[in-house]
Amino acid sequence: MGKYYLAVDIGASSGRHILGHLENGKIKLEEIYRFENGMDHKDGKLLWNVDRLFGEIVAGMRKCKELGKIPVSMAIDTWAVDYVLLDEQDRILGDTYGYRDHRTDGMDAEVAKILPETELYAKTGIQKQIFNTIYQLMAVKEKEPELLQRAKTLLMLPDYFGFRLTGNKLSEYTNGSTTQLVNPNTFQWDTDLIRKLGYPEDIFLPLKMPGTKVGQLLPEIQKEVGFNLEVVLCGSHDTASAVMAVPQTEGDGIYISSGTWSLMGIESLKPIINEEAAAANFTNEGGYDHRFRFLKNIMGLWMIQSVRHEYKDAYSFAQLCDMAEESKNFLSRVDVNDPSFLSPDSMVEAIKQYCQKTGQPVPESVGELASVVYRSLAQSYGETVSSLEKIAGRTYDSIHIIGGGSNAAYLNQLTADATGKTVYAGPGEATAIGNLLAQMIHAEELADLKSARKCVRESFEIRTFDPEK
Ligand code: LFR
């Protein structure tokens, strides 16, 4: 029996602790703990409750003890761009905002006054998303400047949790890249950019690569969970971990990391920064082993999750897919990347308004809404493939869909049909698997990324969907 490793994978809507080990050369997973997540609505703000999340991390670790399966190491990944500012006593300054909060509205204009968007893209290769940390920090500078003056350290959320576990402050590179403050050539903070923006330069710690040791558990944490282990860095941006687990040895095909967001792109050994990439808003986020995740953010399952929620979670996702199929002749479509879908008060209303505004029939039933959402998403995949192939100057035969959304057979088929490509679906737990792979490579149980991906392909079922028309 191989050694256990613990992946703590926290997404914007749920978190999980997954124990992994190698058995006869195959990766075995065991989900030992799961918890809900979501931004809290507080005084008109959207906030993360980091103390609660940290409590969940520790609670899940205790499960290992209960099961008698003590991991040799653990790593934490979360969504990107969100961070805390710490004072000189390492206390959090101000609120911990969630990226869908509206405080960044208009902050793109403030940043553009200092640096035009084209220059910002040329420098960082990062897509424009109004929630990027660069805009969040501009909101702090504009609205709560005293917080930036008092700040001693900036930590992205997974790094903050690592600090609470070990007492050591480290900044991880893949997640750091999503701030839009990192130089893709040096793999370090762009201090020139940071200075120009008027952010304090010394709050940014040197960026460390996945596979770096963070430290051992603090004595009080050891006491609470009943064991000690090494905390290491994985690709702490969840998408970076997911992309590690694309079951393709050479890593040169199209993938969609499908969850709350759909991240569609390719892996590249060099950043792809040019006018076409900028116009299509593709990003060059940092990946494992100094690779780049050249991808586009597509609104993803967030829209259907939100619709479902508004119907009091009365329908399962499988039921919503069935109802969408029954309403397949309802032909209205929306641009899923329209900003009105990022953080609306009501997703149902936002979809209806979009249809009305664009002179299309307005969906009324749940089935019609679900049909609009799923088919518009597939259509967006189709468009994204076209621009990706244009920019890459080559075509691709297939798409790997990984992550929780890869379990939605209905969407997989729509994707195959909308793109004309064969879809390979799975593994569903790609993010946790990628998190574990970084640890297994660190522990020298796996040799490198290439053999890790081969191992993923041999360990998990991958389903095939061929285009029907
Ligand atoms: C996916 C993800 C995306 C990022 C978005 C916001 O979970 O990490 O990659 O753009 O969440 O952080």
Between CA 222 and CA 200 the distance in angstroms is 35
Between CA 344 and CA 322 the distance in angstroms is 25
Q: Is the pLDDT of residue 251 over 80?
A: no
Q: Is residue 261 in contact with ligand 1, taking CB distance under 6 Å?
A: yes
**Tell me, what's the pLDDT at 331?**
96
Q: Is residue 238 in contact with ligand 1, taking CB distance under 6 Å?
A: yes
ipTM of this predicted complex? 0.99
Handedness of CA 202, 204, 207, 212 (dihedral sign): positive
Ligand 1 pocket test: pick from 239, 243, 342 the residue with the most ligand atoms within 8 Å of its Cβ.
239
- The 10s digit of each residue's pLDDT in 329-384 is 999 999 999 999 999 999 999 999 999 999 999 999 999 999 999 999 999 999 99
Q: What is the pTM of this model?
A: 0.98
**Tell me, what's the pLDDT at 249?**
83
| CATH entry 3.30.420.40 includes domain 4-238 | yes
Protein fold of 248-425: Nucleotidyltransferase; domain 5 (3.30.420)
> What average pLDDT does the structure give for the chain?
97
- The 10s digit of each residue's pLDDT in 423-456 is 999 999 999 999 999 999 999 999 999 999 999 9
359 CA from centroid of ligand 1 (Å): 32
**Atom 12 of ligand 1 has which residue's CA nearest to it?**
80
220 CA from centroid of ligand 1 (Å): 32
Q: In 3D, which of 289, 250, 291 has the Cα closest to residue 272?
A: 291
Q: In 3D, which of 229, 259, 245, 255 has the Cα closest to residue 27?
A: 245
The domain spans of the chain are: 4-238, 248-425
Q: Mean per-residue pLDDT for 387-416?
A: 97
- The 10s digit of each residue's pLDDT in 32-91 is 999 999 999 999 999 999 999 999 999 999 999 999 999 999 999 999 999 999 999 999
Q: Is the pLDDT of residue 252 over 90?
A: no
Between CA 277 and CA 392 the distance in angstroms is 9
Q: Is the pLDDT of residue 2 over 90?
A: no
Instruction: Flag the least confident range among 1-10, 67-76, 104-113, 203-212.
Output: 1-10
Asked if the domains at 4-238 and 248-425 fall in one CATH topology, the answer is yes
Q: Is the pLDDT of residue 469 over 70?
A: no
Ligand 1 pocket test: pick from 13, 16, 79 the residue with the most ligand atoms within 8 Å of its Cβ.
79
Residues that are catalytic? 238
**Tell me, what's the pLDDT at 81?**
98
Q: Is the pLDDT of residue 326 over 70?
A: yes
